Amino acid sequence: MEQPEHFAVENKVCLLSRAICGLKQAARVWNVKIDSVLKGLGFVPSKYDSCIYSKIFDKNVTYVALYVDDFFVFFKFD
């Protein structure tokens, strides 16, 4: 990564304040974010697999499964 034009200062580096797609930590940052969003919506992670979340509405159950950057949503109703 290069410094922006007219900002070049020798012996200095840029500090990223956000994860950029393609970097090693980008997937981890995305996972932490989606975990907090799903928990905020009332979903509970499975104790057997942390990428599966569930939420119970009356007698209905909604499951959300995460795979890399995809969602699979399953809904079971009576």
| Res. 29 pLDDT band, cuts 50 70 90 | confident
Residue 2, pLDDT above cutoff 80 = no
Domain boundaries, the chain: 1-78
pLDDT at position 13 is 72
pLDDT at position 1 is 61
| Res. 78 pLDDT band, cuts 50 70 90 | confident
Integer CA distances (angstroms), 10 to 3, 6, 16, 63, in order: 10, 12, 18, 52
Helix (H, G, I), strand (E, B) or coil at 51: coil
